[in-house]
């Protein structure tokens, strides 16, 4: 399927957003979005899966309908099964649905997992989040999806995704490298919009925190320039990392923890050493939002 133009996607998203209050599930109309490259692999998204299970599990436990959507999962269903495995630790009856705008990818996923007991569901769909049988997801993961769109398409797409969430629901819009060693994601709540940015990196061999810059989400990747909040955060992180070099005697983990501890004195850091030790850092969205 050819890629839709930016104006076409914006128009589709706008129309779907206006009708979100009445159009849900299979009756919502044509899928909204465009086919992405589809690159994927086992455990590629393990960093965000761990974060969802360990920090957002309350949303899933409290949900009347434990519906989760993995949006734009790509050419292989492996990331959908990985996500289901992580979230079943939180809620065994979780219902994970992989949505793809490519009919061929949906059919391939169904065929590959047809004989697997308890496998996730797969359906044709896009940003309108039309899952089989209807329902509003409490969690939506859209990883390495919006990165392939134009920056001007992000806001309307966020609005559409949020409009389809269940009360208390969350969307994660993120990007990672091919092996999942460097990742970042924005968390968006149904009621408040974007609330945080998380950086998550493999600490072994990390030259500096700003190495994650090329994997920033679409809303921020072009904002890593002087005068923007994300640039200030990464610059401060690199400086703190350099000052924390002595802690590296005890390993990269201790150096990262020292870096995060220093950043917490000047930025609205939302997490604590229990997350820092995993190579994570989460800050409030306000400090990195485009200016």
- Show pLDDT as tens, one digit a residue, over the chain (291 residues): 333 444 444 444 444 433 333 333 333 457 787 777 667 788 999 999 999 999 999 999 999 999 999 999 998 999 999 999 999 999 999 999 999 999 999 999 999 999 899 999 999 999 999 999 999 999 999 999 998 899 999 999 999 999 999 999 999 999 999 999 999 999 999 999 999 999 999 999 999 999 999 999 999 999 999 999 999 999 999 999 999 999 999 999 999 999 999 999 999 999 999 999 999 999 999 999 999
Residues 61 and 167 in one domain: yes
Query: What is the CATH classification number for the domain harbouring 180?
Result: 3.40.50.150
Q: Which pLDDT score is estimated for 29?
A: 57
| Per-residue pLDDT, 26 | 35
Q: Supply the range of the domain harboring residue 249.
A: 209-279
Rounded Cα–Cα distance for residues 149 and 87 (Å) = 28
Q: Please indicate, yes or no, if residue 284 is contained in any of the structural domains.
A: no
Spatial distance between the Cα atoms of 283 and 270, rounded to a whole number of angstroms: 5
Tell me, yes or no, whether 262 lies in a domain: yes
The DSSP code for 228 is S
Tell me, yes or no, whether 240 and 186 share the same domain: no
Q: What is the pLDDT of residue 195?
A: 98
Q: Report d(CA 21, CA 19) in Å as an integer.
A: 6
Q: Do 78 and 218 have their domain in common?
A: no
272 shares a domain with 167: no
* Residue 20 within any structural domain of the chain: yes
Q: Does residue 217 sit in the same domain as residue 245?
A: yes
166 with 73, same domain: the answer is yes
Alpha-carbon distance of 67 to 131, in angstroms, equals 9
Single residue among 201, 231, 255 that ends a domain in this structure = 201
C-alpha to C-alpha distance for 280 and 230, rounded to whole angstroms? 16
Q: Does residue 285 fall inside a structural domain?
A: no
> In this predicted structure, what is the pLDDT of residue 115?
86
Give domain status of residue 291, yes or no.
no
Q: What's the pLDDT score for residue 37?
A: 64
């Amino acid at each position: 399927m050819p890629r839709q133009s930016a104006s076409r996607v914006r128009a589709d998203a706008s129309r779907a957003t206006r009708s979100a209050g009445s159009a849900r599930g299979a009756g919502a109309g044509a899928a909204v979005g465009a086919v992405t490259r589809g690159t994927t692999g086992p455990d590629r998204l393990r960093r965000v899966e761990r974060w969802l299970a360990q920090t957002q599990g309350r949303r899933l436990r409290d949900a009347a309908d434990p519906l989760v959507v993995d949006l734009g999962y790509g050419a292989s269903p492996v990331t959908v099964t990985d996500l289901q495995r992580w979230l079943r630790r939180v809620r065994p009856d979780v219902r994970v649905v992989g949505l793809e705008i490519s009919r061929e990818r949906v059919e391939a996923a169904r065929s590959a997992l047809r004989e697997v007991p308890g496998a996730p569901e797969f359906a044709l769909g896009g940003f309108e989040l039309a899952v089989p049988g209807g329902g509003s997801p409490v969690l939506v993961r859209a990883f390495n999806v919006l990165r392939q769109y134009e920056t001007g398409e992000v806001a309307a797409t966020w609005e559409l995704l949020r409009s389809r969430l269940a009360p208390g629901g969350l969307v994660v819009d993120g990007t990672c490298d091919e092996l999942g060693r460097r990742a970042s994601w924005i968390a968006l709540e149904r009621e408040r919009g974007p609330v945080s940015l998380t950086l998550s990196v493999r600490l072994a061999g990390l030259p500096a925190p700003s190495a994650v810059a090329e994997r920033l989400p679409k809303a921020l990747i072009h904002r890593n320039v002087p005068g923007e909040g994300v640039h200030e955060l990464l610059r401060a992180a690199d400086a703190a990392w350099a000052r924390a070099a002595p802690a590296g005697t005890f390993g990269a983990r201790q150096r990262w923890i020292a870096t995060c501890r220093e950043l917490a004195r000047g930025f609205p850091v939302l997490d604590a050493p229990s997350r820092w030790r995993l190579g994570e850092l989460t800050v409030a969205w306000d400090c990195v939002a485009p200016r």
